[in-house]
């Protein structure tokens, strides 16, 4: 089987920086280390750090006084960060710079009196973090129809932003619709990162030229799921798996050329292994 591998497949800048910070803390060997929440959404990477003694916190109050805590790449609510600082020995911020920029931009718009409309997955950790900077009136929606049913108030000034890994095409449609309703002066925070856009555009281009697509990455990874979604939207049979071992060759039966891409938190060695398996089919 011929494999066409996306050049953008694999770690993005934010993931690489977060793991570099965690690796630095592990290498220092100066006491206990924890992350608040999974550092990234990839089970194989998380298992690696668990074997190195890094524990994963769910409650900021569980941080120990002798422990250094690394904030996950997705960012966390600012109240959680405050609690961590009061409990842990030290706190290292490994929030993706693009997510941090979105947090600060949302906080700025709140100070300017804007009510935020946020396109994102309500239960995603990044979205929970972003919403913590947005004030009580902010509205988060995962589907366009949810926004269409939202009750706009004439006296409010609105702004719109998106989770950094959202579908840029859908976000553009949302912005156009909002501007028709609220006016062309609607403040738009450009929070979808370039890495997300580039990966989605390449996945779309590949899906239009191959017989099937394979997307590798964690099932909890929003950006990975959206890569699979945009590939499927091109009418291309698409398979999303976490590891090469999970791939059922029957799902690719009849495909001569397969496109291969991966989420922003998928390690290179897993992508390499998947390519090798596909080429052997």
Does residue 81 carry a catalytic annotation?
no
Distance (Å, whole) CA 84 – CA 78: 10
12 labelled binding-site residue: yes
Other CB atoms within a 10 A radius of the CB of residue 50 amount to 11
What's the token pair of residue 203?
């996945």
132 labelled binding-site residue: no
240 labelled binding-site residue: no
47 labelled binding-site residue: no
Distance (Å, whole) CA 251 – CA 239: 8
78 labelled binding-site residue: no
Residue 250 DSSP one-character state:
G
223 labelled binding-site residue: yes
56 labelled binding-site residue: no
User: Cβ distance 63 to 69 under 8 Å?
Assistant: yes
Burial 172-211 (b: 16+ CB within 10 A, else e): eebbeebeeebeeebeebebbbebbeebbebbbebbeebe
> In whole angstroms, how large is the CA radius of gyration of the chain?
20
Q: Say which of 126, 146, 180, 201 is annotated catalytic.
A: 126
193 labelled binding-site residue: yes
- Cα–Cα nearest to 12, from 238, 269, 268: 268
Residue 109 DSSP one-character state:
H
Other CB atoms within a 10 A radius of the CB of residue 278 amount to 22
What's phi and psi for 91, nearest 5 deg?
-125, 125
User: Cβ distance 57 to 35 under 8 Å?
Assistant: yes
User: Cβ distance 84 to 69 under 8 Å?
Assistant: yes
Residue numbers belonging to the annotated binding site: 12, 41, 74, 96, 124, 164, 193, 221, 223, 265
Residue numbers belonging to the annotated binding site for [4Fe-4S] cluster: 12, 96, 193
Hey, which residues are catalytic here? 126
Residue numbers belonging to the annotated binding site for dimethylallyl diphosphate: 41, 74, 124, 221, 223, 265
């Amino acid at each position: 089987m011929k494999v066409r591998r996306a050049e953008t497949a694999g770690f993005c800048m934010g993931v690489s920086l977060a793991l570099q910070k965690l690796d630095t803390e592990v290498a220092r060997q100066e006491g206990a280390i924890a992350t608040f929440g999974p550092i990234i959404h990839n089970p194989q990477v998380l298992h690696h750090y668990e074997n190195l003694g890094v524990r994963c916190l769910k409650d900021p109050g569980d941080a120990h006084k002798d422990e250094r805590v690394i904030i996950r790449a997705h960012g966390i609510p600012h109240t959680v960060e405050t609690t961590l600082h009061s409990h842990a020995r030290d706190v290292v911020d490994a929030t993706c710079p693009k997510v941090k920029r979105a947090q600060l931009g949302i906080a700025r718009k709140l100070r300017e009196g804007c009510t935020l409309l946020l396109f994102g997955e309500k239960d995603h950790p990044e979205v929970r973090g972003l919403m913590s900077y947005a004030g009580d009136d902010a509205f988060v929606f995962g589907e366009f129809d949810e926004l269409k049913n939202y009750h706009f108030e004439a006296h409010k000034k609105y702004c719109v932003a998106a989770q950094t890994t959202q579908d840029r095409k859908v976000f553009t449609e949302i912005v156009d619709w909002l501007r028709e309703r609220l006016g062309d002066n609607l403040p738009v925070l450009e929070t979808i990162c370039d890495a997300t856009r580039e990966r989605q555009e390449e996945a779309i281009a590949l899906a239009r030229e191959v017989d099937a697509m394979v997307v590798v990455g964690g099932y909890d990874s929003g950006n990975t799921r959206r890569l699979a979604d945009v590939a499927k939207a091109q009418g291309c049979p698409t398979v999303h798996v976490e590891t090469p071992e999970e791939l059922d060759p029957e799902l690719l039966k009849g495909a001569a050329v397969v496109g291969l891409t991966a989420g922003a938190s998928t390690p290179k060695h897993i992508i390499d292994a998947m390519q090798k398996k596909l080429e052997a089919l």
